Amino acid sequence: MTPPNDELIAALRAEPARADALMRDACAALRTQPPVRVPVDAVPLRAGLARIAQQGLDAVLQRLVADAPQGSVTDALAALLRPPELAWDEPQEIDWAVRHWEGCRAAGHLDEELAADFGEYWRELEWSALRWHLVLLGQGHAEERRLLAYIAKTASRYVAFGPLKRAMEARFPEFFQLGFSLR
């Protein structure tokens, strides 16, 4: 997964009023670069999962490895919408994702299933982001708290990640308390 470049992150931090235009431009640039699909490397994912729990997450690992290859059409957008250095309100993430999805559909970049259903596209995007966040967590990324928050958010939404959610609730209960925010 290609993270947003440092220049974009710096511009988004320096000029929050221009975030929409900057992100739309970044999304347009993504559509000019076809994804390169490669098998998912389970080793860095396993390292990230181990930071949450030492055992009991093999089923989660298998789902993340099997359900979407690395380099899927949602990987780059997931990195753009959910960088560890920034957090957006979810309606804004969805707005950018819908616009990107529509552009990808129009350009013929999506398979039939993803082109037909934004909900399926959003699910794959969230799973791509989860996979990336776990890898960064396993590498000891400096933004550990935000990564954990993103992981908790996604694990809470999908039954397939129930074991991950339960492990996080046990180790990091603060991410599941009322009033929690990514910001």
Residue-wise pLDDT tens digits, 167-177:
999 999 999 88
Mean predicted confidence (pLDDT) in 135-162: 96
Mean predicted confidence (pLDDT) in 112-129: 94
76, 77, 78, 80 alpha-carbon torsion, rounded to 10°: 90
Q: Is residue 150 over pLDDT 70? A: yes
Q: Is residue 159 over pLDDT 80? A: yes
Of residues 148 and 183, the one with the higher pLDDT is 148
Residue-wise pLDDT tens digits, 38-95:
888 899 999 999 999 999 999 999 999 888 667 778 998 999 999 999 999 999 999 9
Strand partners, 177: none
